[in-house]
Homo-oligomer: A and B are copies of this chain.
Amino acid sequence: MTSSKNDKNTRTTGRPTLNEVARLAGVSPITASRALRGISSVAIELAEKVRVAAADLNYVVNPAARALASAQSHSVVVLVPSLSNLLFIDTLEAIHAVLRPKGFEVLIGNFHYSRDEEENLLRNYMAYQPRGLLLTGFDRSESSRRMIETSNVPCVYMMELDAAEGLNCVGFSQLKAGETAARHLISRGRRRLAYIGAQLDQRTLLRGEGYRRALQEAGLYNPDLEVLTPRPSSVGLGGELFLQLLASHPQVDAIFFGNDDLAQGALLEAARTGIKIPEQIAVLGFNDLPSSEFMVPRLSSIRTPREAIGRRAAEQMLTLMAGNKVANPVQDMGFELMVRESS
């Protein structure tokens, strides 16, 4: 019953500590710490000794202790609006691929296209004292914005571009993408062009805006042919809206869809109901999902650099976290029009 000093204290984790590594290497704990963090002021032989000792003991740092002592974590928070289509998965994977090898932990938050949910996630994750913030777009609540600003945590915005002073962003011009879509369809001789968008996030709206502008320029704009719904984008919804639009406006001869899944749904309903694509209606999608090129007919789409955006954003974040200024804070990763059979 008498608890002696040698009792195994249950509060410890049982794993080797930096102290033990240091003892084994014959150096002080702080030197071991510096050696393992790759701080250059440690002699090469000493650092090597420490590394060997750490390997021997199978030592892994305790991230909690490190975070507490240094008042900063090694985690980076990524907030995306959705995981239900593959768009953001590619981006997330790329971010992981860049940050994980550098020892950063990636915390993913899905805010389901909801400003409130984003704000909540932000508030929650701020507790972890993240080293960086990777956010999607610029559309968010005022308090989210304030939280980001006052936190002083470096932040990179993905998917959209914004020339605002001091913002780091990696994306492409959604507006130009919409324009490109319109010009392509017009160049195919189409004159009664529609736009079908769902979700109504900032980017969908911007694409619609670009599309509209190009149509207005060409004198072809007809507000009746703009179908927008806040419902989440899906194959089923695409088919539904497609049939709906055709029922009310049978003269439509081209449709730009704000998302490939919508366009795929339209192609499927067209096949089901015998509507000829592209003869009767040209169809253009957006994002170029992997399955789009296998549709019947093969879906034309605008390919977006999702993987590249994630990679570049993560690289910018590394620069920022190292305390450096990013040379080129606004990175336009472009997009590519993939012309296939449907247009």
Binding site for B on A (CB under 8 A): 11-13, 60-68, 70-71, 73, 83-84, 86, 89, 92-93, 96, 100, 105, 107-108, 110, 123-124, 126-129, 234-236, 239, 261, 264-265, 268-269, 271-272, 290-291, 293-296
Contacts and interface: CB of A to CB of B under 8 A. Distances in A.
A11 B96 CA distance: 29
A235 B83 contact: no
B296 A271 contact: yes
Given A64-B68, A68-B62, A89-B83, A234 B296 contact: no
Contacts of A129: 13, 62, 64
- Between A64, A83, A264, the greatest number of chain B beta carbons within 10 A of the residue's beta carbon is seen for A64
Contact of A265 (B127, B234, B294): B294
B92 A83 contact: yes
Nearest to A273: B296
A62 B127 contact: yes
Given A265-B294, A268-B295, A294-B268, A60 B93 contact: no
Given A64-B67, A71-B12, A234-B290, A93 B83 contact: yes
A26 to B, nearest CB: 25
B71 A93 contact: no
Contacts of A239: 294
- Between A65, A71, A108, A290, the greatest number of chain B beta carbons within 10 A of the residue's beta carbon is seen for A71
Contact of A261 (B13, B123, B265, B291): B291
A100 B265 CA distance: 34
A264 B335 CA distance: 27
Nearest to A86: B84
A291 B89 contact: no
Contact of A128 (B63, B68, B83): B63
Contacts of A126: 60
A29 to B, nearest CB: 16
Contacts of A73: 64
A93 B110 contact: yes
